[in-house]
Amino acid sequence: MFGNRKKSTVGLDIGANTVKLVKLDHTKTGYFLSGLGMREFPAEAIVSDEIRDRDAVIFNIQALIDQVDPKIKDVHVSISGHGVITDKFTIDRKAGAEAEQAIIFETEQRAPFDIDDVTIDYHISQNDEQQNTMDVLMVAARNEFLDGFIELVEECDLRPTLVDIDAFAALNAYEYNYDIDPERTTAIVNVGHDVTNICYLLDGALHSTRDVSSGVREIFNSIQKEFRLNLELSTKAIKGELGESIDQDMLKATIVSASDELISGIEQAFTYFKAQSKAPQIDWIVLSGGGALVPYLAEHIQAKLAVPIEMLNPLRSIEYDPQMYEYLQPEKIAPMLAVPIGLALRKVKKKS
Ligand SMILES: Nc1ncnc2c1ncn2[C@@H]1O[C@H](COP(=O)(O)OP(=O)(O)OP(=O)(O)O)[C@@H](O)[C@H]1O
Ligand SMILES: [Mg+2]
């Protein structure tokens, strides 16, 4: 009787600028996009990871749910920024509960925080049988931050059944849609409004992740100032929707000069990764987030860092009916959907 009920999962990405929602139905062959929507928050409702106007945030999330599917209750969500700490270390190979104990012990020794103040998760990225070691990627979320975030989601009448971090969600979207080339050291770079999440893939596996506290906001503000535009028109300008009605050379110059901080942040992160991993170079960047859509930005990053860029299309292997989303045009904004799609694709781990 219940056998035909379709299973679906929802990814809700609460970004500093835009909240995005993706609903995926699980089909026999994969996934079908059965719901999609996004809404922009008022300008300073969220700054970095600080929620300044809680009511506006809740209002917009609820409005988005109503718009896409009022029946939605269970959502997969994600956090990023200062409330999240990641670390990578190598310890002796162990399994099961022993591994967990060893990871918590090692984290306690290394962490710049009290272990009781955080919630820890981890990922074993590499097992080296010859050396009898394993590489651990540890993720810790400050309890205060995590609890506040979960409360916010619950206040929207939703159940956060899974909490991930933005960087892993973008990676998940990439892994589902593409074959990883073990020969190429890859940086998945998700440029958001306030935070840029980076995941490094080395020898075909996740090496580490890092958040850079810089994004499109600087560029947005600078466009607003240089062109003396109101909020609405600046939003159109940054989306490339004003076309020839604004001076394109000036737009390009504004975007280029306002992206210095973002680019040097990414550059520093790359330098750190190369030193830590001993990888001679990053072979390519897979770009996602709203930043991937800002005119002239991708080509500028590519030129400044001298690393080729490819756009992440998280819908590449997901079925959808373009007529359902004529207004949103998913194919045009696809890179911005990496995090919510990665979240919706996430399987909930059953605790045994
Ligand atoms: N179609 C578009 N073309 C160009 N830029 C866009 C487009 N849509 C949004 N942007 C810009 O991208 C940024 C939003 O990107 P994104 O949604 O990835 O960030 P966010 O998730 O809200 O922020 P964060 O991840 O930092 O919390 C905004 O600055 C917005 O102006
Ligand atoms: Mg984001």
**Residue 115's CATH number:** 3.30.1490.300
Cα–Cα dist 157/72, whole Å: 9
Residue 252 C-alpha to ligand 1 middle, in angstroms? 17
Q: Are strands 46-47 and 31-40 parallel, antiparallel or unpaired?
A: unpaired
Calculate what percentage of the chain has a pLDDT beyond 90.
87
**How much is the average pLDDT of 318-326?**
96
Tell me, yes or no, whether 149 lies in a domain.
no
Residue given tokens 């990496």 in the structure block:
338
**How much is the average pLDDT of 14-37?**
97
How many structural domains compose the chain? 1
Tell me, yes or no, whether 125 lies in a domain.
yes
- Give CA 15 to chain center in angstroms: 9
The reported pLDDT for the residue numbered 123 is 87
Tell me, yes or no, whether 155 lies in a domain.
no
**Comparing C-alpha atoms, which of 352, 340, 325 is closest to residue 72?**
340
**Comparing C-alpha atoms, which of 135, 249, 102 is closest to residue 202?**
135
Strand-pairing partners, residue 47, are 50
pLDDT digits (tens, 9 = 90+) for 195-210: 999 999 999 999 999 9
Q: List the beta strands (DSSP E) in 41-195.
A: 46-47, 50-51, 74-79, 84-92, 118-128, 133-142, 159-165, 186-191
pLDDT digits (tens, 9 = 90+) for 97-143: 999 999 999 999 988 889 999 999 998 877 888 999 999 999 999 99
Contacts of 70 (CB under 8 A, 6+ apart): none
DSSP output for 10-77: EEEEE-SSEEEEEEEEE-SSSEEEEEEEEEEPPTTSEETTEES-HHHHHHHHHHHHHHH-TT--EEEE
Testing ligand 1's pocket by substitution, the residue of 239, 333, 339 carrying the most ligand atoms inside 8 A of its CB is 239
Strand-pairing partners, residue 36, are 22
Tell me, yes or no, whether 161 lies in a domain.
no
Cα–Cα dist 80/210, whole Å: 10
pLDDT digits (tens, 9 = 90+) for 266-306: 999 999 999 999 999 999 999 999 999 999 999 999 999 99
Q: Is 216 in the pocket of ligand 1 (CB under 6 A)?
A: yes
Domain span holding position 124: 84-139
- The yes-or-no verdict on residue 322 having pLDDT over 60 is yes
The reported pLDDT for the residue numbered 251 is 97
Tell me, yes or no, whether 209 lies in a domain.
no
Tell me, yes or no, whether 91 lies in a domain.
yes
Tell me, yes or no, whether 301 lies in a domain.
no
Instruction: Supply the pTM of this predicted model.
Output: 0.95
Residue 144 C-alpha to ligand 2 middle, in angstroms? 20
Tell me, yes or no, whether 111 lies in a domain.
yes
The average confidence (pLDDT) of the chain is: 94
Report the nearest atom of ligand 1 relative to the CA of 20.
17
User: 204: left (phi > 0), else alpha (psi -120 to 50), else beta?
Assistant: left
